[in-house]
Amino acid sequence: MIKMVITDIDGTLVKDGTGTLPAELTETIGALMDQGIHFVAASGRSKISTERLFAPLKERIYYATCNGALMGRYGELLFAESMDRKLLDRLLSDARAIPDTIPFLTGAGVMYADSDDEDVIRWLIEGYQEDVTRVADMGAMEGDFVKLCVYDKKHKSGETFRSFCEKWKGVVSTSTAGAMWLDIYKLGVNKGTAARWYQNFLGVLPEETLALGDQQNDVEMLRAAYHSYAVGNAIPEAKEAARYVTDTCENGGALKVLQSLLKTEG
């Protein structure tokens, strides 16, 4: 019996940068929760972006945003892992040195940017529904931050960030998210640790967990669930980590799995 669904968003549930959850997905997820199944949205997105996407359901779902660095539900922060500030400054300096990329910082809520690339920032605001605060210099900011993410203008994240990831291996957690993004967060934090945290918090076994994903940052999460599905457009690493492969995101693969679960549990 499935008691918890934990799923990636972009490239799995919806196309990258989608701002509104399709009605059929909203109805299906709502029906699953009506049957007592917990739903966890696990994403590199911020808390604000996730809540806006799931607006009709935001008070009912759990979230594991910033790849598990921030967890909770609407109006309630349950867990947060901030990055060491001195280390973050070094990471930010290295990220700035990578050609054709744009770094962003994420706190408990909004994203911060000191870039003058209006097109990318507009896409984050209009597509992902992010709150992006413009600052003169992110390196001069005070406060706690849970994630540094870097946008690749060339859309070749695996190549662009390979040297960076090798340099910082064992110091921080890094993962690519699609062709455009590198996510950097505290060592040991990932969607897999988020899945296990929620399993413990909600009293759910791996055998009672269903996970859906498509990218490198979903691999640990897929391994944490017995009922694990990679969508058809997933990278090979995600497909290898999953027990099953469903249809592509574009063809509603995740929706088909959730609808099948609804029929089974109903």
What are the tens digits of pLDDT across the range 214-266?
A: 999 999 999 999 999 999 999 999 999 999 999 999 999 999 999 999 888 76
- In the predicted structure, residue 95 carries a pLDDT above the cut 80: yes
Interval 165-174 mean pLDDT: 96
- Strands 227-230 and 209-213 come out as parallel
Q: What is the mean pLDDT of the chain?
A: 94
Overall residue count recorded for the chain in this entry: 266
**Can you give the pTM of this predicted structure?**
0.89
Cα(83)–Cα(145) distance, rounded to whole angstroms? 6
Interval 31-38 mean pLDDT: 97
Identify the pLDDT of residue 108.
76
Give the tokens for residue 10.
Answer: 């972009």
Interval 29-43 mean pLDDT: 97
What's the sign of the alpha-carbon dihedral 256, 261, 262, 264?
positive
Interval 139-160 mean pLDDT: 94
